[in-house]
Amino acid sequence: MASVPIIPDSYNHVLAEFECLDPLLSALRLDSSRLKCTCIAVSKRWLALGSSGGGLNLIQKDGWKQRLFLAHKEGAISRVACCLHDEDYVAVATSQGLVVVWELNQERRGKPERIYVSSEHKGRKVTALCWDTAALRVFVGDHVGKVSAIKINTSKQGKAAATFVMFPVQIITTVDSRVVQLDYLDGRLLISSLTRTYLCDTEREKFWKIGNKERDGEFGACFFPVGKNSGNQQPLIYCARPGSRMWEVNFDGEVQSTHQFKQLLSSQPLPVVTLRLDPHYTSSSCSPQSLSFPKLLYLAEHCVMTWTERGIYIFLPQSVQVLLWSEVKDIQDVAVYKSELFCLHTNGKVVHLSLLLVDRCIERLIRRGFWTLAARVCCLFQNSIISCRARKNLPLDKLEHLKSQLDASTQQDLITQMEELISKLEPLDSACSSRRSSISSHESFSILDSGIYRVISRRGSQSDEDSCSLHSQTFSEDERLKEFPAHQEDEQVELDNVSHASVTVEADRNETFLPFSIPLSFRSPSPLVSLQAVKESVSSFVRKTTEKIGTLHISPDTRGRQEAKDEEPLQELTVSLVASPQEEKELEPQSCQLPEEDHLRDLNAATAEAIAKLQDPLVLLEPQCMRRVLQEWLIYLEEKFGSKEHSASSIKKSKTVCVEEERAVLEENARLDPTDGDPSDKEQSSILKDCSEKENTDDTCVSKNMCENSTDLKGPLDSCFQVSPPCVIEPDVQKDLVELTTLCFELRVFSCGNGEAEESSDASLPLAASWTLACRFMRSYFFLLDLKRLKQCIITMYATSPNVWETYIAGLKELTCHSPVTLAMENEDMLKILKQLHDLGPWDDSPLLLVHAQRLYEKFGETALRPLIKFHPSILPSDIKQLCRNDPAHFLAYLDSLVKSKPEDKRSSLLRSLLQPESVRLDWLCLAVSHDAPQRANTVDAEGNPRPRSHLFTWGYSQLILLLIKLPADFVTKEKMADICKAHGFWPGYLFLCLELDRRIEAFTNIAHLDDLSLLNGEDGSIPETIEEWKFLLCLAQNHSTTFHHHGPQNGKAVSNGSPSCPDCITVENIALLLAKAIGPNRALPLLQECGLTLELSERFTGVCEILRIAEKRQRALIQSMLERCDRFLWSQQA
């Protein structure tokens, strides 16, 4: 018998379908092709189903018996919401944008009646409905972002009030995009749009934006109510974020932390227990899921559920756990009430699911007589059934009874599996079971001075059932906030396999809190897991303590290497440029030299003073004043983190290294450019001489501590990068340091290496010396630079100094030398590496993605660039242009692929957004017309005129060229683009620009040279508009006819003037026919006689003109007849 995969014991819950609602839909006739269920809502009493025919069906959940039908003539039902605190009210939104509120009058046994109809959103699509939790008020959101509130006055308040008092619709707000979800709790309205989430205090009329980072797409948000026993604790808010993330927000709209579920969703889905098919489970792991949660719904027992096109996901957000996820395809909407889920599918079907414990599910299946399904669920979840908690509901006799109900002839395999399960069970009163119960109750710990754990038995603890309940697996908000001293948003570090939050232990009042947290709940159903966690935690604590003590006795060089090795995995994953609290904890062992307060006191004071000075408008608006302030501050930074370290020996070593580097660079520059008369060379020689003197004053020459992966460093000067702080820095201080250091780089205020600051923006400083100082500045203070601003500064200010870009890339390589992507780059193929990069996302403009792209390009060449378009806008074309600056054709292929990856109607807007700055338009145009293009000799003749039919040549990047020239631009830029097109012979673009620049005569001249009548069409304005233009074009056709059609070389076939075989050539007769069609034959003939061209016209022209006269005459007669009929009809109506 083949072994059946067993679901791990960490899964105790399951989704089950006990009732099929297909007969109900059939009875309501909602299963036909004409009528279809369009929306769904649920309350304690009602299941509301809206239909495409405008009807609302209200079914009583108790027995599915009583039914109300509410008809609407305003269109199909798009949204429905039941009032949970008074189930006598239902709100309905129709396809026309009307919102109807019904009072059902069930208490008085009357007929349902409309009590309010709102047309505030008429003509718009209502996307969200939400009831107030206390008052009779409905909140409405539509697809343009408008949110309104409808206050209801009911007949329960008296007939007079209901008749004469109608509250107007209150406009709450209008957000920037479509409303995705609305939720309300305790006077606060939560609005989730396509870009961000808003919190509104409807009583005080105050609004807050939640978080700083926007998003793009459908992401939900919901309130998370607190329990009855939580005291004064306020509710929480959970907001969906890209990449399977959630923000945890307090009731004031402040983001407390970001929870990452991507790695937790790498497990296989749990089966849905249903009679439709047998449950199956695969034990193999799957890849992490990076999902977007379109809506978040609060479920009973501290759960939040959501769904995608793939399945249903239920989370325990407070403990950052995935309760379960199951594959349920094609879900359109979900309505929940407590632990019940009603799923509306895209085909109109409705499925009723229940979330419950596995043992409860099996017990209910047994009670209903579904023996086979109950046995299969037992075999799949046998790990959960063996636990004591499940054994109370499923004792041995009940399992034996279940086995006896199976058919021995057809279900022998299932019976065998049940026997194996029963054999693993023990009576509840056995010694082994009592030991297991006692071990599982050990939840209190203390640590002795020796570091040994002492386990404290809790005899008076709560019952086993309560300790294993879903509610006890969560922890209080107060305890959780103790582990998050700093606010964390999307910028915090995201570890692959470790959650952002740690599960804390709910201890007794007299219990001592542990100095560190063990990321495993002690209330696990399996006691062996708890003991194993204690063992691993003790081992880890002893190992870390030993390592920390060892760092106090090792040499500084060895310590630096060890610290770099320990930091590198964390550094690779760091997206934020300011260290997060988790990073600071990792960096604590490094700060063994001096206390942070004493070591950085002078620097902190100088930083605060510099920040204060830079806030002065007189300084802020004067670059020279800003540079002076930064120069004064940079001296303090140099003393603490620059070449002068914490000892005299380190100062000597750092000076020697800097002198060696500067000398090596200047010698190389002098060798590459040996011009004697250049004043910059003389200055370089003097600098070199100074460097030599400095070198002679030092006793020894010792190099800096090199990083392990220094072979990746391909910058102008091979040296070590300071990619991490040498000591612990407070987040607020580091934020100010990053701002000032980055500002120094942007204003070219660099350190000259001798404790003084130097301004390299002066024109007298050579270019080579400028980029040398910039490179050295980056290596010294890489950990204090804003990598995003640094990249943009290098692209704009150091475009002619490739060494600066190479140094920047080298620093990023050093930062990510031990990342999984870098390690996989050696052995894996390109597709696997790209998939790994995609799984690590979203990158959110992280420069770390850029260095991975650089490595891919270095290994696989041009083939690695095209797949990078899916990482846009994290990687921009300007980044790719820097990567392949030595081969512009590769950049051009990437840009073309990126533009073509978008729909045609969005390509122009995309390309326009990429043209930053605007000057790159001309650069890209020159690249596009010079690569994969025909030879210039084939498109331009010796006189610079177009060769006939040369506009029909194929250009590899013609679509990209036309998009570039058709984008809006100033007059001068358009003229430059026209000159570029003409110089390279791209005539379609040149003609378009001539017409746009109102150089029509020039356009007609080139059309005559190209000899293609199809270019004279009215779509792009190239048809002559005045009589003078027609005369000029006829003259061109007469002058060039002989040259083009008898003597000149042809790209097409040779033809003669007036021949029927040349209908698309520029001839006098063809132009004359075009003139006759445009202005009529009666006006065309006098103009041709005036130009003396009637002798060159053939009988074909005369026949076409006659046909045109007849057609024109008939058209006039038809118009006259229609006007007479209209006139008679109007007079008859008047009579």
Condensed to tens digits (0 to 9), the pLDDT of residues 1086-1130 reads 778 777 776 566 677 777 777 877 888 888 889 988 998 888 888
Q: Is the pLDDT of residue 484 over 90?
A: no
Count how many residues are written for the chain: 1135
Mean pLDDT, residues 59-75 taken together: 86
Q: Given pLDDT bands bounded at 50, 70 and 90, which one contains residue 315?
A: very high
Q: Is the pLDDT of residue 595 over 90?
A: no
Looking at residue 1011, its pLDDT comes to: 85
> What angle separates helix 527-551 from helix 431-440, to the nearest 10 degrees?
40
Note whether 985 and 939 are within 8 A (CB).
yes
Looking at residue 126, its pLDDT comes to: 95
Place of tokens 């040259």: 1043
Looking at residue 1053, its pLDDT comes to: 40
Q: Given pLDDT bands bounded at 50, 70 and 90, which one contains residue 544?
A: low
Contacts for 669 with CB less than 8 Å, ≥ 6 apart? 684, 766, 768
Q: What is the pLDDT of residues 829-851, one digit of tens each?
A: 788 888 888 887 777 778 888 88
Most confident of 224-233, 355-364, 394-403: 355-364
Looking at residue 96, its pLDDT comes to: 92
Looking at residue 543, its pLDDT comes to: 55
Question: How many CB atoms neighbour CB 847 within 10 A?
Answer: 23
Note whether 437 and 468 are within 8 A (CB).
no
* 308 vs 676, more confident: 308
* 633 vs 466, more confident: 633
Q: Is the pLDDT of residue 343 over 50?
A: yes
Looking at residue 654, its pLDDT comes to: 39
Q: Given pLDDT bands bounded at 50, 70 and 90, which one contains residue 2?
A: low
* Start-to-end C-alpha separation, the chain: 95
Q: What angle is formed at CA 971 by the lines to CA 965 and CA 976, rounded to 5 degrees?
A: 60
Contacts for 175 with CB less than 8 Å, ≥ 6 apart? 145, 147, 191, 193, 198
Q: What is the pLDDT of residues 1027-1060, one digit of tens each?
A: 888 888 888 887 766 555 444 444 444 333 444 4
Mean pLDDT, residues 437-454 taken together: 43
Looking at residue 597, its pLDDT comes to: 52
CA distance 374 to 103: 43
CA distance 1043 to 1053: 14
The closest of 1038, 1018, 1030, 968 to 996, measured between CA atoms, is 968
CA distance 1044 to 948: 7
CA distance 102 to 92: 8
Mean pLDDT over the full length of the chain? 75
Q: Given pLDDT bands bounded at 50, 70 and 90, which one contains residue 198?
A: very high
What's phi and psi for 583, nearest 5 deg?
A: -65, -40
Looking at residue 1049, its pLDDT comes to: 45
Q: Given pLDDT bands bounded at 50, 70 and 90, which one contains residue 756?
A: low
Contacts for 97 with CB less than 8 Å, ≥ 6 apart? 119, 121, 122, 123, 124, 125, 126, 142
Looking at residue 687, its pLDDT comes to: 38
DSSP H or E stretch at residue 926: helix 920-930
Give the least confident one: 504-513, 612-621, 637-646, 749-758.
504-513
* 849 vs 239, more confident: 239
The closest of 756, 833, 917, 5 to 379, measured between CA atoms, is 5
CA distance 257 to 241: 12
Note whether 530 and 439 are within 8 A (CB).
yes
Give the least confident one: 270-274, 698-702, 729-733, 890-894.
698-702
Q: What Cα–Cα distance (Å) separates residue 141 from each residue in 129, 193, 240, 519, 611? A: 7, 10, 18, 41, 44
Query: Tell me, what DSSP letter sits at residue 490?
Result: T
CA distance 885 to 891: 8
* 303 vs 645, more confident: 303
Q: What is the pLDDT of residues 788-829, one digit of tens each?
A: 888 888 888 887 888 888 888 888 888 888 788 888 887 777
The closest of 567, 575, 356, 381 to 469, measured between CA atoms, is 356
> What angle separates helix 920-930 from helix 971-984, to the nearest 10 degrees?
10
Q: Is the pLDDT of residue 540 over 70?
A: no
Looking at residue 863, its pLDDT comes to: 83
Per-position DSSP letters for 512-531, written without gaps between them:
PPPSS--SS-TT-S-HHHHH
For the chain, percent of residues with pLDDT exceeding 90:
24
Looking at residue 532, its pLDDT comes to: 52
* 60 vs 1093, more confident: 60
Q: What is the pLDDT of residues 978-1012, one digit of tens each?
A: 999 999 999 999 999 998 888 888 888 888 888 88
* 513 vs 32, more confident: 32
